[in-house]
């Protein structure tokens, strides 16, 4: 387990991964308060996990799947970044990849001393099948994690472009 700074000394680098699935706004509210209190740098991150069999270079209209999803993610993150008191201290990070390993890589890369992320609060079979990224990030022990629970009824919402890509793949 890597050591991280004591909360008494404050936080200088926050990693704020969002998934645009219901609680991104609430996650940003918590991150905004902590960033202001500690004058911390914020790494607002989104991981694009493509449907199986899809590649970022696949054609999508006059562009590619990757370019369309990257543009959508950038627009969403830009909107969330405007919520911060010091948007100049907010860095937008967009990556393609599997969510968990990409988040663990970002914790190391950004030297995050606090991760603020949403949790869907799944239980039972849904949790067993779908897993919990937040729980796995906590178990990795690379940095303290503040979890924010998703509002009821919003846990599985996806962006329209992601749904369209998945529909294209499914035929």
pTM surpassing 0.75? yes
pLDDT band at 65 (very low <50, low <70, confident <90, very high): confident
pLDDT value of position 166? 47
List residues bridging with 114 in a β-sheet: 14
pLDDT in tens, 9-64: 789 999 999 988 768 889 999 999 999 999 999 999 999 988 888 888 888 777 88
Q: Please check the confidence at residue 158 and state whether its pLDDT lies above 50.
A: no
H or E stretch covering 124: helix 124-130
Domains of the chain by range and CATH? 18-170 (3.40.50.620)
pLDDT in tens, 90-135: 999 999 999 999 999 999 999 999 999 988 655 555 444 445 888 8
List residues bridging with 60 in a β-sheet: 63
Return the residue matching tokens 């993610």.
73
């Amino acid at each position: 387990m890597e050591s991280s700074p004591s909360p008494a000394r404050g936080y200088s680098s926050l990693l704020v991964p969002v998934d645009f699935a219901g609680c991104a706004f609430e996650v940003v509210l918590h991150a905004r308060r902590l960033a202001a209190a500690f004058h911390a740098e914020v790494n607002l991150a989104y991981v694009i996990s493509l449907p199986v069999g899809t590649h970022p270079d696949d054609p999508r209209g006059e562009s590619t799947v990757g370019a369309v999803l990257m543009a959508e993610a950038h627009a969403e993150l830009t909107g969330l970044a405007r919520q911060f008191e010091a948007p100049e201290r907010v860095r937008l990070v967009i990556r393609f990849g599997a969510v968990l390993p990409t988040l663990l890589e970002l914790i190391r890369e950004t030297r995050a001393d606090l991760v603020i992320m949403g949790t869907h609060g799944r239980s039972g079979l849904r949790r067993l099948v779908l897993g919990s990224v937040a729980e796995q990030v906590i178990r990795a022990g690379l940095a303290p994690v503040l979890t924010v629970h998703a509002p009821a009824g919003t846990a599985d919402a996806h962006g329209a472009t992601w749904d369209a890509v998945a529909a294209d793949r499914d035929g």
